[in-house]
């Protein structure tokens, strides 16, 4: 095995391990997403999505609209809500980092189970996978249009 591949797998395993132990560990979550970005699978996902901008624009667009997607999808900013949103991203964007985040959520579910009163990560993932399959592409929406309009008339 190439040393660069071994090093990449070690970093991914470290991040996945930390997230399986603590799904709220945002540092390792962001590290995992960042490490997955230069992979061939991520290249293919970007190629499939690229129609209105370069890689930098696409990456920033996803990050800047993530919280809005939580609201639109009805997913709270909880561990289960993040699992559901990772599943939506897997279905719609094919991001490998989102698949790895979802995998770490499911590993945590197997090892620890949900926190008291928390939605099960498996149920949240199933919800997100189905939602990502049937809803219009979230990335393609022009969320900025109409922001000056009140929600209630």
Q: What is the per-residue pLDDT for 52?
A: 53
Residue 110 class from Cβ within 10 Å (0-12 exposed, 13-18 middle, 19+ buried)? Answer: exposed
Is the full-model pTM beyond 0.75? no
Report residue 107 CA to chain centroid gap.
16
Burial 28-63 (b: 16+ CB within 10 A, else e): bbebbbebbbeeeebeebbeebeeeeeeeebbeebe
In the numeric block, which tokens belong to residue 106? 């499911």
Cα–Cα distance, 138 to 66 (Å, whole number): 9
Cα–Cα distance, 94 to 20 (Å, whole number): 21
Please, what is the Cα angle at 143 between 141 and 144, to 5 degrees? 135
pLDDT one digit per residue (tens) for the chain, 153 residues: 688 888 888 998 999 899 889 988 889 988 988 888 888 888 888 887 765 577 777 778 888 888 999 999 999 998 899 999 999 999 999 889 999 999 998 998 888 887 788 889 899 999 999 999 999 999 888 888 877 888 777
Burial 111-141 (b: 16+ CB within 10 A, else e): eeebeeeebebeebbebbbebbeeeeebbee
Q: For residues 15 and 35, is the Cβ–Cβ distance under 8 A?
A: yes
Compute how many other C-beta atoms are within 10 angstroms of the C-beta atom of residue 91: 18
Compute how many other C-beta atoms are within 10 angstroms of the C-beta atom of residue 26: 11
């Amino acid at each position: 095995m190439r040393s660069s591949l071994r090093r990449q797998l070690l970093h991914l395993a470290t991040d996945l391990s930390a997230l399986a132990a603590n799904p709220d560990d945002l540092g390792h979550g962001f590290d995992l997403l960042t490490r997955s970005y230069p992979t061939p699978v991520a290249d293919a996902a970007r190629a499939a999505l690229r129609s209105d901008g370069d890689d930098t624009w696409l990456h920033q667009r996803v990050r800047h609209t993530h919280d809005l997607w939580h609201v639109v999808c009805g997913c709270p900013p909880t561990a289960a809500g993040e699992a559901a949103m990772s599943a939506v991203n897997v279905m719609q964007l094919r991001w490998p980092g989102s698949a790895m985040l979802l995998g770490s959520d499911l590993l945590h579910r197997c090892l620890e189970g949900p926190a008291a009163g928390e939605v099960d990560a498996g149920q949240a993932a199933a919800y997100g996978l189905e939602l990502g399959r049937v809803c219009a592409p979230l990335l393609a929406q022009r969320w900025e249009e109409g922001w000056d309009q009140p929600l209630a008339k």
